[in-house]
Structure 1
Amino acid sequence: MSKFRKKKKGVPAVNTAALPDIVFMLLFFFMVTTTMRETSLQIEAPRLPSATEVKKLEHKSLVTTIYVGKAKDAKYGTSFNRIQLNDKIATADQVPAFIINARSKVSEAEVPFMTTSIKADKESSVGTITDIRLKLRDVNALKISYSASKAAAN
């Protein structure tokens, strides 16, 4: 028997010294490339009406939002019937073009799943919302969601 035995060499451990650098690089990449909000509100934040039953929308990427409320800038008037499409104040006649533009940005297979969400201030007139609904009907955008806040339980 020999006094000196040869030690078996195993697989060396994985070096994890560069792992924190990689994690922080990915973190900064996603922080820089991610956009949090695509539109800035030109109308005051709508005070949504309350509802007893509220359901969250699925497929948020397929939701097109129309805001109705009072414009922040006084040059558009002081009524609660201003319509915002993307980043500008618009009229109900511009809604069909807005929907057609939104449809062109998604694939043909996803068009039937698109939803139009109307976020209207509770003081907005029903006439304005009806005008929007009629224009949506003209372009066959029949899937409409009305945004509301959940009513407090008494």
Structure 2
Amino acid sequence: MSKFKKKKGGELPPVNTASLPDIVFMLLFFFMVVTVLRDNNLLVKNQLPKADQVEKLKKDRSIYIYAGKPSSRYQDAYGSEGKIQIGDKFTDIKSIPFALNELRGKLRPELQDKVMVALKVDEETNTGLVTDIKQVLREENMLKIIYITTPGNELEQ
């Protein structure tokens, strides 16, 4: 018959760390995939007007145009007149069609004909600037326009 030996010390076995690098890399890839990066850097002041009938829309087929005065850190270089921002740079009225066609080309092919232009216009922006933008959009046959607002009622303050 064989004899069984008892362990003399009641110490725990060491923790196996062989799978630790796999877990760390799995978490790293998870956060890289899930994290949403900022699309563009806002160069204009963007205090949106309030509206009481707000609806949530899909972002996958929208092109954003920002309009307003340059933010305080850009006023020295660009002045205090209303500016148009598409993407990460200021744009003038004449170059809006080129910027829109470039952004339209980045969308999926089946969505390129169904583009919606989302206007994020500061509440203190001159109406003439918005009218000029809408005129260019008409000439480019981009007739689906959304005005982005914040929920609330402008009359109740």
TM-score (norm 1): 0.76
Alpha-carbon distance in 2 for matches of 1:88, 1:63: 18
Alpha-carbon distance in 2 for matches of 1:30, 1:136: 40
Once the two structures are superposed, residues 46-96 of structure 1 have per-residue CA deviations (whole angstroms, 9 ceiling, x without a partner) of 1111111001111x12111111111121221113x1111111111121111
Q: Residue 21 of structure 1: CA displacement?
A: 6.2
Q: Is the 8 Å Cα contact of residues 51 and 153 (structure 2) preserved in structure 1?
A: no
Change (3 A) 1:52 1:71: same
- Counterpart of 1:142 in structure 2 is 143
Q: Residue 114 of structure 1: CA displacement?
A: 1.6
Give the secondary-structure state (helix, strand or coil) at the position aligned to 2:113.
helix
Q: Which aligned pairs between 1:90-105 and structure 2 lie closer than 5 A?
A: 90-105=91-106
Deviates more, 1:47-56 or 1:102-111: 102-111
Give the secondary-structure state (helix, strand or coil) at the position aligned to 1:109.
helix
Question: Residue 76 of structure 1: which of 75, 78, 95 is its match?
Answer: 78
Q: Is the 8 Å Cα contact of residues 44 and 68 (structure 2) preserved in structure 1?
A: yes
Once the two structures are superposed, residues 10-30 of structure 1 have per-residue CA deviations (whole angstroms, 9 ceiling, x without a partner) of xxxxxxx95x86565343124
- Counterpart of 1:57 in structure 2 is 57
Give the secondary-structure state (helix, strand or coil) at the position aligned to 2:63.
strand
Once the two structures are superposed, residues 100-126 of structure 1 have per-residue CA deviations (whole angstroms, 9 ceiling, x without a partner) of 111211233212322111101000011
Alpha-carbon distance in 2 for matches of 1:145, 1:116: 6
In structure 2, the gaps of 5 or more residues are 1-17
- Counterpart of 1:40 in structure 2 is 41
Alpha-carbon distance in 2 for matches of 1:50, 1:62: 24
Query: Pairwise CA RMSD of aligned residues?
Result: 2.3
Aligned length: 134
In structure 1, the gaps of 5 or more residues are 1-16
Q: Residue 38 of structure 1: CA displacement?
A: 1.7
Percent identical pairs in the alignment equals 31
